[in-house]
């Protein structure tokens, strides 16, 4: 499918993208922030490569994926495009080095073994320390008590650049409260490295609250792509 065919096939995509971009601009204005402080990552998981191509045609530069095999395949298929691929899902230690080959950033660094697995890569990789905002250790993300040791380990790893923190707001809590905690965790990381100031937070239903709490990297999917074809 050519880029033009893809745009025709995904009718409504441009409108939804522009609506979200306007929503981001509004939220930034309310928060007294400049839109240029934010990066919109369009989450394209479960959608075909042709939809990502249509997004690129619309000017999108950053896309997010949460399954390694799917991300690897799509990024390979779209290697002719100059896209930044953000890996935002749970990552198996044994797949980490493969993910580093296509990803410009990995947002889901949540344990020491993952950092160790990424240490021997050939080039530098941007990473975010994912923090679990729930009490359920089964969810992705490091526990808040692990923030300093994990951040120190990343900072001591030459191949990794610590950009900041990442989290998903729990469903069972107001996002404002969850993102306020995240802002506090971000301060703890910045105390170790002032440059690690990014906050990856904010999805379709809570991006305005995330922007109000200082989010810099917004991971927005369904509001732009429409419903996922095979949501799991």
Measured CA to CA, the distance from residue 8 to residue 220 in angstroms comes to 22
CB of 169 to ligand PLP, least distance (A): 10
CB of 219 to ligand PLP, least distance (A): 4
Q: Which CB, 3 or 170, lies closer to ligand PLP?
A: 170
Q: Which CB, 9 or 203, lies closer to ligand PLP?
A: 203
Written as six digits, the tokens of 36 are 């240029």
CB 162 within 8 A of CB 127: yes
Query: Which residues lie near ligand PLP (CB under 6 A)?
Result: 43, 45, 66, 88-89, 168, 203-204, 219-223
**How many CB atoms are located within 10 Å of the residue 223 CB?**
17
Closest residue by beta carbon to ligand PLP: 221
CB of 42 to ligand PLP, least distance (A): 9
Q: Which CB, 23 or 148, lies closer to ligand PLP?
A: 23
CB of 46 to ligand PLP, least distance (A): 9
CB of 180 to ligand PLP, least distance (A): 19
Q: Which CB, 6 or 167, lies closer to ligand PLP?
A: 167
What are the phi and psi torsion angles at 126 (to 5°)? -80, 135
Q: Which CB, 104 or 222, lies closer to ligand PLP?
A: 222
CB of 2 to ligand PLP, least distance (A): 26
Q: Which CB, 8 or 174, lies closer to ligand PLP?
A: 174
Written as six digits, the tokens of 224 are 């732009």
């Amino acid at each position: 499918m050519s880029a033009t065919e893809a745009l025709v096939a995904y009718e409504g995509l441009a409108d939804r993208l522009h609506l979200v971009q306007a929503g981001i601009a509004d939220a930034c204005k309310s928060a007294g922030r400049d839109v240029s402080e934010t990066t919109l990552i369009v989450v394209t998981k479960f959608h075909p490569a042709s939809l990502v191509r249509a997004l690129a045609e619309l000017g999108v530069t950053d896309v997010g994926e949460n399954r390694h095999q799917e991300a690897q395949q799509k990024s390979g298929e779209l290697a002719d495009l100059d896209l930044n691929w953000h890996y935002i899902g749970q990552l198996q230690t044994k797949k980490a080095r493969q993910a580093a080959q296509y990803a410009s950033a990995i947002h889901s660094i949540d344990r020491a073994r993952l950092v160790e697995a990424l240490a021997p890569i050939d080039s530098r990789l941007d990473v975010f320390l994912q923090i679990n905002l729930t009490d359920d250790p089964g969810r992705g993300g490091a526990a808040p008590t692990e923030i300093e040791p994990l951040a120190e380990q990343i900072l001591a790893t030459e191949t990794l650049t610590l950009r900041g923190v990442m989290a998903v707001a729990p469903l069972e809590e107001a996002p404002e409260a969850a993102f306020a905690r995240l802002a506090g965790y971000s301060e703890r990381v910045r105390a170790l490295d002032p440059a690690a100031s990014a906050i990856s937070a904010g999805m379709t239903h809570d991006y305005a609250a995330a922007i109000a709490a200082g989010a810099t990297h917004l991971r927005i999917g369904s509001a732009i792509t429409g419903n996922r074809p095979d949501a799991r």
